[in-house]
Amino acid sequence: MKRAAIGRVFSYAYLIGSSLLLTYPLLFMLGGSLITLDQYYRTRFIPIPVRPTLHAYEVVLSSGLEQAIQITMLRVAWYLGLTLLVSLFGGYVFSRLCFPGKSFLFMFFLSGLAIPGILMSLPIYVMLARWPLAGGNNLLGQGGHGLVNQWPSLFILGMVDAFGMFLVKQNYDMLPIEYEEAALMDGASLVTIILRIYAPLLKPVLAALAVITFVGIWNDYFFPFLLVSGNPALTPVALAVQRLINSMASWGSVAMTPLPSLFAGATLMSAPPIILYLLLQRYFVQGLVGVGLKG
């Protein structure tokens, strides 16, 4: 009993210490965004906003970050809806239907996960730059810039999420077929079965997929930098924050750098994924572990 109590004390102490260590940068960032530059340089351990001010956020939003957030939210809405629908219906196809070449086609989709995204950057750029009849190109894809620095380049990539399809398919396999058979006997259509019967049962995995998709699109920096960096009107939030940091850091010496504004930009960048994860944390864990009843 005594050893168990001592072990429990050390466990709680370790968990509390780890939590403080992990949350310290977030608290420092949040506190630093609510004070002035003079108050920041008087900080000893962590910025404490005695008189909180939102001036740093006003500076950041006036620099064009608000437009970048709107563009990113459009991308999030597009990819989130598309990923969930494709994964929900695609997972059903590969889990429940039988057709020639199903295993080969499924492995073909999964093989894309083994290819690093950086290796696909050059083929993707060439494909979009030589898109026929776009951006001044002729029918052969020559003479212009194609879809580079155009709206479609932000929405045309990654329309089929192989990982999401795999994740949902594995959870489909764990659900009893009797649900579907009973619905078919009642005259339900295939779309009704997927959306009204399977979708509620797959809520945890769909929530986990939503969190992963949201964080991936929100933090997407490389491909927007590659494809739309020449068009300031199409700058997503990750690219906008990076440009904001570079511009403010180049103002002069460290003492002249508006660090509260940088903290405000980092806070605006970090807040949405953190809030979404906290809201869907329970479903996120369940979705990755697995859900459903074995038949």
User: Within a domain: residue 1?
Assistant: no
Q: Which pLDDT score, from 0 to 100, does residue 256 have? A: 67
* pLDDT for 160 beyond 70: yes
User: Within a domain: residue 113?
Assistant: yes
CATH of the domain at 155: 1.10.3720.10
Q: Report residue 287's pLDDT band, with 50, 70 and 90 as the boundaries.
A: low
Q: What percent of the chain has pLDDT over 90?
A: 30
User: Within a domain: residue 25?
Assistant: no
User: Within a domain: residue 143?
Assistant: yes
User: Within a domain: residue 189?
Assistant: yes
Task: Please list the alpha-helical segments (H only) found in 61-135.
Answer: 66-96, 102-111, 121-129
- Phi, psi angles (nearest 5°) of residue 122: -65, -50
Calpha distance 88→107 (Å, rounded): 18
Q: 235-280, pLDDT tens digit by residue?
A: 999 998 888 888 777 665 555 678 888 889 889 888 898 888 888 8
Q: Is 132 exposed, middle or buried (0-12, 13-18, 19+ CB in 10 A)?
A: exposed
DSSP letter at 187? Answer: T
Tokens of 53: 């001010």
| Residue 221, SS3 per DSSP | coil
User: Within a domain: residue 49?
Assistant: no
Calpha distance 65→99 (Å, rounded): 49
* pLDDT for 292 beyond 70: no
Contacts of 160 by beta carbon, 8 Å cutoff, 6+ apart = 86, 90, 109
Calpha distance 73→61 (Å, rounded): 15
Q: What percent of the chain has pLDDT over 70?
A: 93
Contact 88, 202 (CB under 8 A): yes
- Phi, psi angles (nearest 5°) of residue 123: -60, -40
48-52, 122-126, 167-171: segment of lowest average pLDDT: 48-52
Per the structure, the complete domain to which residue 234 belongs is given by 54-289
Q: 95-124, pLDDT tens digit by residue?
A: 988 889 888 999 888 888 888 888 889 999
Q: Report residue 291's pLDDT band, with 50, 70 and 90 as the boundaries.
A: very low
Amino acid at 177: I
User: Within a domain: residue 26?
Assistant: no
Q: Which pLDDT score, from 0 to 100, does residue 290 have? A: 55
Q: Which pLDDT score, from 0 to 100, does residue 77 have? A: 95
Report the domain count for the chain: 1
DSSP secondary structure, 132-159, as one string: TTSTT--TTS-SS-TTTTSGGGGTSTT-
Q: Which pLDDT score, from 0 to 100, does residue 112 have? A: 83
Contacts of 213 by beta carbon, 8 Å cutoff, 6+ apart = 76, 79, 80, 83, 84, 161, 164
